[in-house]
Amino acid sequence: MNPTAAYSIFPDGDTLIPRFREAGDVTLDLFHRDGRVEDKWLALHPREFELLWRLAEQPGQVMTKQQLLADVWRITIEPETNSVAVHVARVRAKLASFGLAKILATHPDGGYFLDTPLGPGAFAFGGKAPD
Q: By mean pLDDT, which of 34-38, 66-70, 81-85 is the weakest?
A: 81-85
Q: Parallel, antiparallel, or unpaired: how do β-strands 34-37 and 40-41 relate?
A: antiparallel
pLDDT, tens digit, for every residue of 37-68?
Answer: 999 999 999 999 999 999 999 999 999 999 99
By CB atoms closer than 10 A (0-12, 13-18, 19+), residue 18 is exposed
Which pLDDT belongs to residue 128?
43
In this predicted structure, what is the pLDDT of residue 8? Answer: 53
Q: Which CATH architecture has domain 17-114?
A: Orthogonal Bundle (1.10)
Render the burial of 72-103: b for 16+ CB within 10 Å, e for the rest: beeeeeeeeeebbeebbeebbebbeebebeeb
Residue 122 has pLDDT above 90, yes or no: no
Residue 125 pLDDT greater than 70, yes or no: no
Alpha helices (H) in 36-122, listed in sequence order:
46-57, 65-68, 83-96
Which residue ranges make up each domain of the chain? Answer: 17-114
Long-range (24+ apart) CB contacts under 8 A made by 45-50 are: 45/90, 47/72, 47/73, 47/87, 48/87, 48/90, 48/91, 48/94
Bridge partners (DSSP) listed for residue 114: 104
